Amino acid sequence: MSTDSTLLAVRWAQVRGRVDDACRAAGRDPAAVSILPVSKTFDAGVIRAATTLGLRRFGENKVQEIRDKSPLLADCDIRWVLIGHLQTNKAKEVARLVDEVQSLDRLELAEVLHRRLQQEGRAIDVLVQVKTSSEESKFGLPPAQLPALLDALRHFDTLRVRGLMTLATQSTDAAVVRGCFRRLRELRDEALAQGHALPRLSMGMSGDFALAIAEGATEVRIGSAIFGGRAAPQSA
Ligand SMILES: *Cc1c(COP(=O)(O)O)cnc(C)c1O
């Protein structure tokens, strides 16, 4: 194993350990929280090394990166998960390359994705990204619009709606960050009462996953804590 692979193995084990600790601190079963490794900005070689640790699902925030990396990793049985803002003009590539979209945030996008997926003869899992922060720049569906979108999504049999996703406000105030995660869980509970089964809550990143786990995350999206720092800050 190269030094890089060794470092990756160490970091992966550390992150899994910290996630397990956060679960126990919250009185939750560690088996109930999975980790989505976020490989954005890291090249195919790094992802290949990660597959030797048994990792198969990788989160990316740009379709372009999936398009560039996937041919180099065609032998690795990877499931690509899109976690970044998606423009409708990329739907065709998403339908071809992506196994799951966590950033579905509007009906228009669902309509276009559905049409493209029908053409490909595929169905994918999706999470609805909800805006739980007060920041203007963040993407995501306004919470008030969630019931209507969930009802509309029932008509698209290529989109299997499995849960909700959010990004918390970037804040050093843990109460503010935790409030975003709590809001997502409450929205999930309200949707459940309206007959929508949404078992998955994707929330929490390298810097805030313990708070997300305390509020019921079923998966945390971890980039830098596994792969190291990125050269430039990435927009979500
Ligand atoms: C980059 C990114 C992450 C991971 O962020 P880290 O701080 O590196 O763990 C999680 N979710 C989304 C949507 C991202 O864009």
Percent of the chain with pLDDT over 90: 92
CA of 205 to the centre of ligand 1 (A): 6
Mean pLDDT for 124-148 is 91
Backbone conformation region of residue 41, classed left if phi is above 0, alpha if psi is from -120 to 50, else beta: left
**CA-165 nearest atom, ligand 1:** 13
Residue 138: what pLDDT? 67
User: Within a domain: residue 232?
Assistant: no
Q: Is the CB of residue 125 less than 8 Å from the CB of residue 119?
A: no
CATH of the domain at 125: 3.20.20.10
**Residues pairing with 39 in the sheet:** none
Whether 196 has a pLDDT exceeding 80, the answer reads yes
Q: Which two tokens stand for residue 201?
A: 């809550």
Mean pLDDT for 204-214 is 98
User: Within a domain: residue 96?
Assistant: yes
CA of 59 to the centre of ligand 1 (A): 8
Mutate which of 205, 209, 220, 235 for ligand 1? The one with the most ligand atoms within 8 Å of its CB, which is: 205
Say how many domains are in the chain. 1
In which band, very low, low, confident or very high, does the pLDDT at 137 lie, cut at 50, 70 and 90?
low
CA of 193 to the centre of ligand 1 (A): 30
Half-sphere exposure of 206 (CA within 13 A, CB side): 15
CB-neighbour burial class of residue 57 (10 A; exposed 0-12, middle 13-18, buried 19+): middle
Q: Report the C-alpha gap between 32 and 87 in whole angstroms.
A: 32
48-57 pLDDT, tens per residue? 999 999 999 9
In which band, very low, low, confident or very high, does the pLDDT at 134 lie, cut at 50, 70 and 90?
confident
User: Within a domain: residue 59?
Assistant: yes
User: Within a domain: residue 145?
Assistant: yes
What is the model's pTM?
0.95
Residue 231: what pLDDT? 77
Mean pLDDT for 107-126 is 98
User: Within a domain: residue 235?
Assistant: no
Residue 236: what pLDDT? 47
User: Within a domain: residue 234?
Assistant: no
User: Within a domain: residue 233?
Assistant: no
Please state the length of the chain. 236
Find the domain containing 186 and state its range. Answer: 5-227
User: Within a domain: residue 236?
Assistant: no
Q: Report the C-alpha gap between 230 and 236 in whole angstroms.
A: 14
Please report, as a single letter, which amino acid is at residue 39.
S
For tokens 């792969």, the residue is 227
To the nearest 10°, the Cα dihedral for 225, 226, 227, 230? Answer: -20
